[in-house]
Structure 1
Amino acid sequence: MVGGRAWPRVHAPPPRPQASRATRGTRLHALDHAPDAVHAQAQTTICRPAPKERRSKFAVWPPEHHGSEIRRALVTGAGRGGRGRAKVAGDGYPHSSALLVGIGHGSVKALHAAGARVVVVSRTRTDLDSLVRECPGVEAVCVDLADWEATEQALGGVGPVDMLVNNAAVAFLQPFLEVTKEAYDMSFSVNLRAVIQVSQIVARGLIARGAPGVIVNVSSQGSQRGQTNHSVYCSTKGALDILTKVMAVELGPHKIRVNAVNPTVVMTPMGQAAWSDPQKAKAMLDRIPLGRFAEVENVVDTILFLLSDRSSMTTGSTVPVDGGFLAT
């Protein structure tokens, strides 16, 4: 229960017989943990008497917009990225280990399946073409977010956006004493500066329309814990966390909420490749109370919650999806 209301549904389940008082309670259906399934089989429900009014099919609208036009979402970093090699770029960037590849793709599929109009952004045309085939109707924008001018030109006329997921990121894994200018410049350009730029474009449009909106930034547990060979990456994510809070303070009066999700290692194909060494994986798993890494849908679930009206009083938060890692 949240504020006396049921947990948000992405897919409205078929009507059920009214439950008796004795059977009231929470009933959770297992999620399909295959990465490609993401949210398609999600059936998290609350067993209770059927409400007098059915909620809208898509439960991530701001409450003011229930029953109005379909909301529009923009997701960055939505390409599939690397193909299983631990130090190949996610979303097309060279020489990086993109452990978050798959979260943007999964978010697009979940939003599309729920009925949203989705704009997907990637620098890799082949990945965009593949996603458009998977999710007919999504709008694809091919642009390198590290290029400020190209991004302004590509997204300046993107049209009204109600929900933004800033997922694009790169991670150059280098020891501190070997950090290069290229790694620093590229990391901060994509992981932080692009978030500022894309969020400005979306927020200005919302304010001009007088419409409420939601922004979710995909951060990392590395924003709050030091990790070997991640000096630049952790720095960008630490900066992203405080940026999230400042954005929430400044955009809140305009009815725009801003939050971040902070995942642990996510079991995308790239994540599996990067953490396939049993000794390396064990060292991290030993620090996670739940004893496992995250699946893509664990992060997508949290993103959808933060986009939904069920989190309408939540802004400026950094939400761990880490199995308890940050609690240790």
Structure 2
Amino acid sequence: MSVSPTFRLDGKRALVTGAGRGIGRAIAEAFAECGAEVVLCARTQSEIEEAADTLRARGLAATAQACDVMDVAGFSDLIENQAPFDILVNNAGTNRPKPQSEVTEEDYDAVMNLNVRAVYFATKAVAKSMIAAGRGGSIMTLSSQMGHVGAANRTIYCASKWAIEGFTKALACELGSHKIRVNTICPTFIETPMTKPFFEDETFRNSVLSKIKLGRIGQVSDVTGAAVFLASDASSLMTGSAVMLDGGWTAE
């Protein structure tokens, strides 16, 4: 009997939210390269169409489906009217860093509605489909190291990610009997086209690096490897867990 794990995703359907750019797009590409049929979901049709076209030009299986995950009814209808998914990546999220004294109700609602409410109900819709299909599955949410520690100017963001960590553990208990695994990915600061300008500020960059024990800013490839692991049978006994990609940030 072979003991070598497989990271292949052949024959599996994967849905990635927030897949038009950055980490979400990179995860979708990694899944497709491992053999999955990938559906890229985001609000901006042009972004996901371009991403899907790029993958198809390489002979990979990819489809673009424009949808706002905060539209609970619309997203649920989207899931109900197609074949079930084997993999869900809740990647869409946002942050509004500022001192708690300056946080408005609009700030709070914007972060919590996307980072928690949308994830909760998107997961509900996909999990229902997975259960009906009866072949198990893997659900993962892009959480954060901030779901395990605190930080100044991030009271809403930390609240949202701590909520996701609790939700993940509770749902893992519910869905285990259906062979559906539920986990989180918890990155430190990751360099993307959107975040790169922030790291050009030496003060900010040095403050981040002072907490990352491995001494470097995270790269998108650090996240895609974890996503493929959680999607594949290589993690078949893993559920209710958080994959820490923090370079040692939370080690102290």
TM-score tier, shorter chain, comes to: over 0.9
Per-residue CA distance 1:15-71 (angstroms, 9 max, x = gap) = xxxxxxxxxxxxxxxxxxxxxxxxxxxxxxxxxxxxxxxxxxxx246xxxxxxxx11
Where does residue 13 of structure 2 map in the other structure?
A: 72
Answer yes or no: is 1:173 the counterpart of 2:114. no
Per-residue CA distance 1:138-162 (angstroms, 9 max, x = gap) = 1211122222233223333232101
User: Aligned pair in 2 of structure 1 residues 227, 132: CA closer, same or farther (>3 Å)?
Assistant: same
Where does residue 107 of structure 1 map in the other structure?
A: 27
In 1, the alpha carbon distance for the partners of 2:50 and 2:42 equals: 12
Where does residue 143 of structure 1 map in the other structure?
A: 67
Per-residue CA distance 1:85-139 (angstroms, 9 max, x = gap) = xxxxxxxxxxxxxxxxx11100111111222111111011121121122112412
1:283, distance to aligned residue in structure 2 (A): 0.9
Per-residue CA distance 1:140-187 (angstroms, 9 max, x = gap) = 111222222332233332321011111110111221111111121121
1:195, distance to aligned residue in structure 2 (A): 1.3
Paired residues for 1:304-323 under 5 Å: 304-323=228-247
In 2, the alpha carbon distance for the partners of 1:211 and 1:71 equals: 11
1:212, distance to aligned residue in structure 2 (A): 1.0
Answer yes or no: is 1:123 the counterpart of 2:43. yes
- In structure 1, the residue corresponding to 2:194 is in which secondary structure? helix
* Corresponding residue pairs, total: 248
1:225, distance to aligned residue in structure 2 (A): 1.6
1:4, distance to aligned residue in structure 2 (A): 7.3
In 2, the alpha carbon distance for the partners of 1:274 and 1:211 equals: 43
In 1, the alpha carbon distance for the partners of 2:187 and 2:174 equals: 25
Identity of aligned residues (%): 38
In 2, the alpha carbon distance for the partners of 1:75 and 1:158 equals: 15
- Higher helix proportion: 2
1:227, distance to aligned residue in structure 2 (A): 1.7
In 2, the alpha carbon distance for the partners of 1:269 and 1:79 equals: 13
User: Aligned pair in 2 of structure 1 residues 4, 226: CA closer, same or farther (>3 Å)?
Assistant: farther
Q: Does the Cα contact within 8 Å between 1:60 and 1:307 map onto a contact in 2?
A: yes
Where does residue 126 of structure 2 map in the other structure?
A: 202
Q: Does the Cα contact within 8 Å between 2:137 and 2:179 map onto a contact in 1?
A: yes
Where does residue 290 of structure 1 map in the other structure?
A: 214
1:325, distance to aligned residue in structure 2 (A): 0.6
In 2, the alpha carbon distance for the partners of 1:60 and 1:227 equals: 37
Answer yes or no: is 1:232 the counterpart of 2:188. no
What TM-score do the two structures reach when normalised by structure 1?
Answer: 0.72
| Counterpart code for 1:219 | S
Answer yes or no: is 1:185 the counterpart of 2:109. yes
- In structure 1, the residue corresponding to 2:30 is in which secondary structure? helix
- In structure 2, the residue corresponding to 1:269 is in which secondary structure? coil
User: Aligned pair in 2 of structure 1 residues 226, 4: CA closer, same or farther (>3 Å)?
Assistant: farther
In 1, the alpha carbon distance for the partners of 2:192 and 2:82 equals: 29
Answer yes or no: is 1:247 the counterpart of 2:167. no
Q: Cα RMSD between the aligned structures? A: 1.6
| Counterpart code for 1:222 | M
Q: Does the Cα contact within 8 Å between 1:60 and 1:305 map onto a contact in 2?
A: no
In 2, the alpha carbon distance for the partners of 1:148 and 1:208 equals: 19
1:269, distance to aligned residue in structure 2 (A): 1.1
Q: Please, which runs of 5 or more residues in structure 2 have no aligned partner?
A: none
Q: Does the Cα contact within 8 Å between 1:146 and 1:186 map onto a contact in 2?
A: no
